[in-house]
């Protein structure tokens, strides 16, 4: 498995011959190294419906005939837009040819905003994502506050890499993310969802220095972990 980070909450996984994108917010993302019209993907995993996570999902899916895996209401909405989707709900898991996806709870909100019509569309419960290729396990927390069931997620899964939001204001801040890392017991912890907008400016190095030595790592856009 090859895992790379591409700014904000964008994560790419290459596993079992498939290219998997999580929350591909690319256009309008000052932190990313990607270009939406050049991205290649077989699968897109979404945590929730906010525009800084759904991002370029529809255009990428159309260009690549990619499968979108998302919470039920969000998958339904994107299906109405012509996308090929697989809906899931929190607590469920599904074994695909490229690996197993499970959705965990996340404490946040989830909606898609159609700016021109000043319309907000409810897109179901937000989620975190557990992905495993039967050898390694990745946890992408999505947008969330701290919650005690992270202890159970850590106890029941041997997490190799956890991607945790640290931006505060909309999600956990660094202090709560340190507690989340402790509960999850992941081998590696990567901060995400920070410095994209003024309201979520943080110093990721300070966060990493608060973790046990060797656990935290700051990835720049395009950096890879094998």
Give the residue-averaged pLDDT of 6-13: 98
Of the candidates 99, 16, 39, 112, the residue with the CA atom closest to the CA atom of residue 71: 112
CA dist., res. 96 & res. 98, Å (int): 5
Residue 226's pLDDT band, with cuts at 50, 70 and 90, is confident
State mean pLDDT over 105-110: 98
CA distance 158 to 179: 17
| pLDDT at 204 (0 to 100) | 98
Q: Which residues of 126-158 are buried (b: 16+ CB within 10 A; e: fewer)?
A: bbbbbbbbeebbbbbbbbbebbeebeebbeebe
Distance CA 152, CA 192 (A): 22
């074994």: which residue's tokens? Answer: 95
Q: Is the pLDDT of residue 27 over 80?
A: yes
Residue 133's pLDDT is: 95
Report the alpha-carbon distance of residue 47 to residue 66 in Å, rounded.
16
Q: Which domains does the chain have, with CATH numbers?
A: 2-218 (3.60.15.10)
pLDDT tens, residue by residue, 53-72: 999 999 999 999 999 999 99
Could you give the angle at which helices 57-64 and 72-80 cross, rounded to 10 degrees? 60
Q: Single out the residue of 101, 181, 171 nearest to residue 138, CA to CA.
A: 101
Strand order in the sheet with 137-140: 93-96, 99-105, 127-132, 137-140, 161-165, 188-192
Residue by residue, DSSP assigns 81-138 as TT-EEEEE-TT-EEEETTEEEEEEE-SS--EEEEGGGTEEEE----EEEEEE-SS-EE
- Is the distance from CB of 46 to CB of 23 less than 8 angstroms? yes
What mean pLDDT, rounded, does the chain reach? 97
Q: Which two tokens stand for residue 105?
A: 């709870």
Q: Which pLDDT belongs to residue 71? A: 98
Confidence band (pLDDT; 50, 70, 90) for 46?
Answer: very high
Per-residue pLDDT tens digits for 179-220: 999 999 999 999 999 999 999 999 999 999 999 999 999 999
- The answer to whether 4 and 33 have CB atoms below 8 angstroms apart is no
The pLDDT of residue 134 is above 90: no
Q: What is the pLDDT of residues 146-176, one digit of tens each?
A: 999 999 999 999 999 999 999 999 999 999 9
């Amino acid at each position: 498995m090859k895992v790379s980070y591409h700014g904000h909450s964008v994560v790419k996984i290459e596993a079992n011959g498939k290219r998997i994108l999580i929350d591909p917010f690319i256009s309008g993302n000052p932190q990313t190294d990607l270009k939406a019209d050049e991205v290649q993907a077989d699968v897109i995993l979404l945590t929730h419906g906010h525009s800084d996570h759904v991002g370029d999902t529809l255009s990428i899916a159309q260009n690549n005939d990619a499968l979108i895996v998302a919470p039920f209401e969000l998958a339904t909405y994107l299906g109405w837009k012509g996308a090929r989707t697989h809906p899931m709900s929190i607590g469920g898991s599904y074994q695909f040819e490229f690996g197993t996806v499970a959705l965990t709870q996340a404490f946040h909100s989830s909606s898609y905003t159609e700016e021109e019509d000043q319309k907000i569309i409810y897109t179901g419960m937000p989620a975190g994502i557990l992905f495993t290729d039967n050898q390694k396990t990745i946890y992408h927390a999505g947008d969330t506050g701290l919650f005690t069931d992270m202890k159970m997620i850590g106890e029941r899964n041997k997490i190799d890499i956890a991607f945790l939001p640290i931006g505060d204001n909309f999600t956990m801040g660094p202090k709560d993310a340190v507690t989340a890392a402790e509960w999850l017991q992941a081998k590696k912890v990567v901060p995400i969802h920070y410095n994209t907008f003024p309201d979520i400016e943080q110093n990721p190095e300070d966060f990493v220095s608060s973790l046990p030595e060797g656990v935290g790592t700051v990835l720049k856009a395009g950096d890879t972990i094998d």
